[in-house]
Amino acid sequence: MTPKTSTPAPSLDDFLTASAALTGFDAFELHATGMAELYHDTAREQVGDAALGRLLDALAAAGGDPDGIADEIARDIARALAHTWYLGVWPQLAASVHTALGRQQANAAFTVSPEAYTEGLVWRTFHGHPAGAKPPGFGTWADPPPGAPAVARAGAGAPGLPGPRGGGA
């Protein structure tokens, strides 16, 4: 899809700088997902270079702090980008923003690619792995996750806890 204006295309670097501010993951981590170019292309296709540029400008004007984005169109594109990075899914835009942008395509959510799902950042926020990929290995689910206290394991005969424990036949 061709952008409707002749605005210069926001560069991948600028896109990543903004993405880092929006996601809380640094540009290196974002690159390492292998998704950077695909998401850059997706954003340009979905909202056009002008609107994407508008977000990058608004973010720069706010000193790189997404909280400072005042423009609702820019903010909704920010939501969409963060959503895509975290889940691999481009979301529906707010109806008003969709209309304001005069988008040609349907305002529909979609998974950007199968890998986009498995590279979603959300799993990393709680030290997890994407459901259905990158399995951590047999029995790993028994270990306390980072930041969790150790508790008694089954069969360890925790003192004071009544009830027989399974210990083989």
Partner 1 sequence: MSPAPRHGRGRYDVIVVGAGLSGSLIAKELGDKGWRVLVLEAGTGTLDGWPGHLDALDTFYGALAKVPNSPYRPNAAAPSPDVLDVTGLPAGGYRARGYFVQNGPLPYSTDYLRARGGTVLHWLGLTPRMHPEDFRTRRTYGYGRDWPLGYDDLEPHYRAAERALGVAGDAAEQAAAVGLPFPDGYVYPMHAIPRSYVDDVFAARLDGATVREAPGAPGTTLRVTGTPHARNSTPDRRYDGGRGYRPAGAAGLPNYGERCVGNASCVPICPVQAKYTPLKTQATWDRRRVRLLTHAVVGRVLADGNGRALGVEYQEYEDPAAPVATTRTAEADVVVLAAHAIENARLLLVSRLAGHSDQVGRNLMDHPVLLGWGLARHPVGPFRGPASTSGLESFRTGPARRERAPFRIEISNWGWGWPAGSPGSDVARLLGIGAGPAQPRAKGVFGARLRTALGEEIGRQVSVQFLMEQEAEERNRVTVDRRHPDRLGNPRPVITYDLSERVKRGMAAARSVSEEIFRLLGAEDRTAYEPGPLSPGYFRFEGRGFAFNGAGHGGGTHIMGASRGTSVVDAWQRCWDHPNLYAVGCGSMPSMGTSNPSLTMAALALRSSERIHRDLTEAHRPAAVGPLSPEPVGDGRTEGPA
Residues 70-109 that bind partner 1 (CB under 8 A): 75-76, 78-79, 82-83, 86-87, 89, 91-95, 98, 107, 109
8 vs 95, which CB is nearer to partner 1?
Answer: 95
When asked if residue 133 is in the footprint of partner 1 (CB under 8 A), the reply is: yes
Neighbours of 7 (CB within 10 A): 14
Count of residues for the chain? Answer: 169
Binders in 34-73 for partner 1, by CB under 8 A: 65-67
In whole angstroms, how far apart are CA 158 and each of 98, 165, 166?
Answer: 58, 10, 13
- Complete DSSP assignment for 114-142: HHHHHT-SHHHHTT---TTSS---TTGGG
Please report whether residue 115 would count as binding partner 1 according to CB under 8 A.
yes
DSSP code at position 67? G
Q: Can you read off the two tokens belonging to residue 129?
A: 């792995």
Residue 7 or 113: which CB sits closer to partner 1?
113
Name the segment binding partner 1 (CB under 8 A); options: 5-13, 35-43, 45-53, 138-146. Answer: 138-146
Only segment of 4-12, 31-39, 44-52, 118-126 that touches partner 1 (CB under 8 A): 118-126
Contact between residue 12 and residue 44 where contact means Cβ atoms under 8 Å apart: no
Task: By CB under 8 A, tell whether 141 contacts partner 1.
Answer: yes
